[in-house]
Amino acid sequence: MPSYNVQSLPENERPRERLMRHGPEALTTAELIAILLGSGMKGMPILQLSQSIIATFGDLQKLSEATMAELCSIKGLGPAKALQLRAALSLGLRAAKANPTVKYRIETPLHVYNLIKDEIANAKKEHFIVILQDIKGFVIDYVTVAVGTLSQTLVHPREVFNPAIRHHAASIILAHNHPSGDPTPSPEDYELTKILVEAGHLMGIPINDHLIIGGNQYISLRQLGISF
């Protein structure tokens, strides 16, 4: 069971400290909301409140469209905090419109995890995602190329590299989830990675990493020493 009380976390794991050391890319959406709102209420720690907000609306787009009444219906989110949240989201939307060329750069596996975690971490089926990068490592787009059963995803190299070719990606990163919550790579994960890496070499589109996500954990095959 995760700890929702920020003060119970080691200092170097608290959202504010991690934001200062690593920047916003290293934090989840819920953690950024927790920093914005500052504090929860009795019986509702701020991280629990933030995760409840994300769970209620599903994604930032729907959250940004929420009315005051919808926001205030969440336990622990009163009018003052709801206004804070609406103001921050509105500023973010204005900034995005003012500077549409802002891109997300991937430098560590943690950046990959935070980019797609909210979409697949708790999915009941395996989702196989291909993240497309330009020559400098910035994300062009990411695409779900296959959705499998509870225990496996069947992926063909054609499905993986087709979006990379269409978007003129310089390289790609692979990621998929384990619905069991255990991100430990299976023999099939290793074998599929080997096949796709070889295909990437032939096509001139290298694979930079393959992440496996299970709940709030992830494993990078590159960090395990797999050759890419």
pLDDT in tens, 177-208: 999 999 999 999 999 999 999 999 999 999 99
Give the range of the structural domain holding residue 63, as residue numbers without chain letter.
Answer: 6-98
Structural domain includes residue 16: yes
Looking at the structure, tell me whether residues 51 and 143 fall in a common domain: no
- Whole-number pLDDT of residue 101: 54
Report how far apart the first and last C-alpha atoms of the chain are (Å, whole number).
Answer: 35
User: How far apart are alpha carbons 203 and 49 in whole angstroms?
Assistant: 46
Rounded to an integer, the average pLDDT of 90-96 is 78
Question: Exposed, middle or buried by CB within 10 Å (0-12, 13-18, 19+), for 70?
Answer: middle
Structural domain includes residue 188: yes
Tally of structural domains, the chain? 2
What are the structure tokens assigned to 91, written together? 């500023």
User: How far apart are alpha carbons 76 and 39 in whole angstroms?
Assistant: 10
Looking at the structure, tell me whether residues 76 and 116 fall in a common domain: no
Looking at the structure, tell me whether residues 123 and 89 fall in a common domain: no
Residue 1 pLDDT grade (very low, low, confident, very high; cuts 50, 70, 90): very low
Rounded to an integer, the average pLDDT of 47-51 is 85
Structural domain includes residue 167: yes
Q: Model confidence over 150-164: pLDDT tens digits? A: 566 678 899 999 999
Looking at the structure, tell me whether residues 116 and 216 fall in a common domain: yes
Looking at the structure, tell me whether residues 114 and 186 fall in a common domain: yes
Looking at the structure, tell me whether residues 40 and 131 fall in a common domain: no
Mean residue pLDDT across the chain: 86
Q: Is the pLDDT of residue 95 over 80?
A: no
- Write down which residue in 68, 98, 128 finishes a domain: 98
